Amino acid sequence: MHDSDELSGNLVEEFLADRTSRKPSPHTLQAYRRDLVAVLRLVDDGATPAGWAELPVSGLGPRQLRAAFARFAAPRSPASVHRAWSTWNAFFTFLVAEGVVAGNPMPAVGRPRAPLPLPKPLRGEETPEVLLAAAARVDGRQRDPWPERDLTVVALALCAGLRLSELLALRVASLAGRADERRIEVVGKGGRPRTVPVEPALDGVVRDYLASRARRFGSRSVRPDGALLVDRRGAPLRRGGLQHLVRACFQRAGITDRVPPGAQLHALRHTFATRLAEDGASAAEIMRLLGHASLAASQNYIEVTADQQRAAVRANRTNRSLLRVTAQR
């Protein structure tokens, strides 16, 4: 059992160590630390000579946290405040489990609803096709071109909507099923499994890639339990390598200006979902295919598509002419 006067700085480090064992990204860990420290500074507000790290946990009650979060929220977006609230909720859940505090005060601290992020698909009607064609070509500027592998990565994101973490977790055996019922078995966010149908074209791309991999590294390199995506040395692709590969494909295709800022690989997943919505898929179908936790996230693609359709109609020259005519009446 911990002392209720334990110092906040020590507890933050214990919490982050616990989170580290769950293998989050460095960016996520930095965000945890940033949100915890920012609010702790506002709770302390100069009251403790040594600073926020010396603030005892007994000083983190509902009243203190409500006041700190009110000041924290003033210059920030609702999404940032919601993220910080979630971090603090996880922090206190950890402290309760460790016996440091008797209860979690965060339900008494207000939080804004988290706005759903807008989809960020590739811009341009033919951009996905341009990217696929570029990934499939041998580029003489590359030191060791492997178009079969590059095309597989791009196609799995564009035609199956897989996240970066899901791509890295794929095994050779993740593609399963009979010839006319091929599918990818994916472990998504929160460990939720799902299957995504694989059409013959995508199946053929993956088969060609595995054949090229066997030629490069031998047949033992394509064992069922091996990583599906590997680097040019035959080692499993890592996060940084996969991100670099996708950026290189964008550059070879000449479409870097059509990739929404901050989206990168996720832009391919969003393109998959947006085209599903444009072609009439329901929110429930999109939810199942993308592994969303809620229907609202999937509905977002349909609503954005409807807005885009209305904008296209509004831009129609005849509508503009009608506007001028009615303005003259």
Span 200-210, pLDDT tens digits: 999 999 999 99
* Per-residue pLDDT at 308: 55
H-assigned helices in the chain: 8-20, 26-44, 62-73, 78-97, 127-136, 147-160, 164-169, 200-217, 239-253, 265-278, 283-290, 295-315, 317-328
Active-site hit among 27, 266, 324, 329: 266
The CATH number of whichever domain residue 146 belongs to comes to 1.10.443.10
Q: Is 301 a catalytic residue?
A: yes
Q: Which residue has the higher pLDDT, 119 or 250?
A: 250
Q: Is residue 209 among the annotated active site residues?
A: no
At 52, the pLDDT band (50, 70, 90 cuts) reads confident
pLDDT > 90? residue 279: no
Domain boundary among 75, 108, 141: 108
Q: Is there a catalytic annotation at residue 266?
A: yes
Q: Which of 123, 189, 215, 244 is catalytic?
A: 189
Instruction: Say yes or no: 180 and 242 in one domain.
Output: yes
Same domain flag for 150 and 283: yes
Our answer to whether residue 149 is catalytic in this structure is: no
Work out how many domains the chain is built from and give that number.
2
At 186 the three-state DSSP class reads: strand
CATH number for the domain spanning 38: value is 1.10.150.130
- pLDDT tens for 235-259 read 999 999 999 999 999 999 999 999 9
What confidence score (pLDDT) does residue 1 get?
Answer: 40
How is residue 242 written in tokens? 């996969």
Please indicate, yes or no, whether residues 249 and 145 belong to a single structural domain of this protein: yes
pTM of the shown model: 0.63
Cα 80 to Cα 74: distance, rounded to the nearest angstrom: 11
Domain holding 296, by residue range, is 127-314
Q: What is the mean pLDDT of residues 74-88?
A: 91
Q: Confirm whether 120 is a catalytic residue.
A: no
Which among 41, 76, 163, 288 is annotated as catalytic?
A: 163
User: pLDDT class for 321, splitting at 50, 70, 90?
Assistant: low
- Is residue 92 located within the same domain as residue 202? no
Q: Which of 110-119, 210-219, 248-257 has the lowest mean pLDDT?
A: 110-119
* Whole-number pLDDT of residue 73: 92
pLDDT value for 157: 94
Active site residue 23: no
User: Is the model more confident about 328 or about 106?
Assistant: 106
On whether both 103 and 247 belong to a single domain, the answer is: no
Q: Is residue 173 part of a domain?
A: yes
